[in-house]
A and B are shown apart, each in its own frame.
Chain A
């Protein structure tokens, strides 16, 4: 299936996070982690290099622990497809400060660019609606991403899931630390918790 978007993923993530303020961000393994790092390392970032399927759920635990902060789970279509059940769990938990943004290139980009389920007609926003999410949208242009960034900064009645359709490409990797203990302690220190 042809890709329906010409949007560059790095430009999209840069536009999404340009004015992130104190938003906490968890990124799913693979390209979303590289995308997040490419727009600037940040103490409020927790990068995954594994734990596939878990990014949105780490976001849930974090959102529940920090109800006064906005939490963004930035992930890919493959990672979120693996965690479909988690969308039901998040829908039931109904956090008002958690947004999931899926950078959707409709392919499994890390493993040879095989077409993913979203490239074969599966609609993650429709699944999120069925799970009781408060808002969803699919965007395909930079202007729409810029409007999405404004929407994400505003309060919500419950969890939201947004899909950003992007070109299927692998831009040069931008690699954060792979030391999970370091990233964890840095993140907690950013929130004012002592390192272990």
Chain B
């Protein structure tokens, strides 16, 4: 199977920030995550974006719904391990057809060092699809940038509930 190498020339967190700003995202919620650390820093430094640090991922699903009720677009950043915490709360987005964009960095796949990450890694995509989300996935920086741009349009313009899974190969091997 063709498996392109990540392109280190592309600063994908900066590209995602640019795309999400262009999509008029005004709120960002996150659970701390190494893969998202640059994006978290950029949003946190942006006075036009309200950021919320969460104690658990499902809080961000509820915040995103509240933001939309109040007329703002929200994006939610998490790891695949956190997807498992979200399933019941995602019924809110699904039944209310609330726009939802989740950017999920994958654990438990490419060069993972922690076997405890494996079960939730396997369950991430099927459980998101089971509760009604559309799952998109990217393995390279180029693909991720295009995918998030399309996902933002689907979410905010077409009232869809989207999770973009960011392959662990793209994040790089975690030093242990």
A162 to chain B: which residues have CB within 8 Å? Answer: none
Inter-chain contact B89/A93, CB cutoff 8 Å? no
A191 to chain B: which residues have CB within 8 Å? Answer: 69-71
A58 to chain B: which residues have CB within 8 Å? Answer: 62-63, 65-66, 69, 92
Inter-chain contact A54/B159, CB cutoff 8 Å? no
**Nearest Cβ distance between residue A68 and chain B, in whole angstroms?**
10
- Residue of B whose beta carbon sits closest to that of A51: B92
Interface of A is mostly: helix
Inter-chain contact A54/B58, CB cutoff 8 Å? yes
A61 to chain B: which residues have CB within 8 Å? Answer: 27, 62-70, 72, 74
Cβ of A181 under 8 Å from chain B: yes
Cβ of B50 under 8 Å from chain A: yes
- Residue of B whose beta carbon sits closest to that of A61: B66
The CA of A46 and the CA of B62, in the complex, are separated in Å by: 12
Inter-chain contact A85/B55, CB cutoff 8 Å? yes
B89 to chain A: which residues have CB within 8 Å? Answer: 51, 53-54
A181 to chain B: which residues have CB within 8 Å? Answer: 95-97
Interface size class of B (residues with CB under 8 A): 20 to 34
B63 to chain A: which residues have CB within 8 Å? Answer: 57-58, 60-61, 64
**Nearest Cβ distance between residue A156 and chain B, in whole angstroms?**
18
- Residue of A whose beta carbon sits closest to that of B95: A180
* B123-172 residues at the A interface, CB under 8 angstroms: 159
* A181-196 residues at the B interface, CB under 8 angstroms: 181, 183-184, 187-188, 191-193, 196
The CA of A30 and the CA of B53, in the complex, are separated in Å by: 28
**Nearest Cβ distance between residue B91 and chain A, in whole angstroms?**
5
Q: Which of B61, B66, B91, B95 contacts A65 (CB 8 A)?
A: B66
Cβ of B26 under 8 Å from chain A: yes
Cβ of A52 under 8 Å from chain B: yes
Inter-chain contact A193/B71, CB cutoff 8 Å? yes
Cβ of A89 under 8 Å from chain B: yes
**Nearest Cβ distance between residue B103 and chain A, in whole angstroms?**
17
The CA of A183 and the CA of B54, in the complex, are separated in Å by: 27
The CA of A64 and the CA of B70, in the complex, are separated in Å by: 8
Q: Which of B26, B62, B96 contacts A184 (CB 8 A)?
A: B96
Residues 83-119 of chain B, each 1 if its beta carbon lies under 8 Å from chain A, else 0? 0000011011001111000000000000000000000
Cβ of B52 under 8 Å from chain A: yes
Inter-chain contact B55/A65, CB cutoff 8 Å? no
Cβ of B44 under 8 Å from chain A: no
Cβ of A40 under 8 Å from chain B: no
Inter-chain contact B26/A65, CB cutoff 8 Å? yes
Cβ of A66 under 8 Å from chain B: yes
Q: Which of B64, B67, B68, B70 has the most CB of A within 10 A?
A: B70
Given contacts A51-B91, A51-B92, A181-B96, contact A64 B62 (CB under 8 A): no
Residues 52-77 of chain A, each 1 if its beta carbon lies under 8 Å from chain B, else 0? 11110111111111100000000000
Q: List 18 A-B contacts (CB under 8 A).
A: A50-B88, A50-B92, A51-B89, A51-B91, A53-B89, A54-B65, A57-B63, A58-B69, A61-B27, A61-B64, A61-B74, A64-B27, A83-B59, A89-B59, A92-B52, A184-B68, A187-B69, A196-B159
Q: A-side interface residues toward B, CB under 8 Å? A: 24, 26, 46, 48, 50-55, 57-66, 83, 85-86, 88-89, 92-93, 180-181, 183-184, 187-188, 191-193, 196
5 tightest A-B contacts by CB? Answer: A61-B66, A65-B70, A85-B55, A54-B62, A57-B62
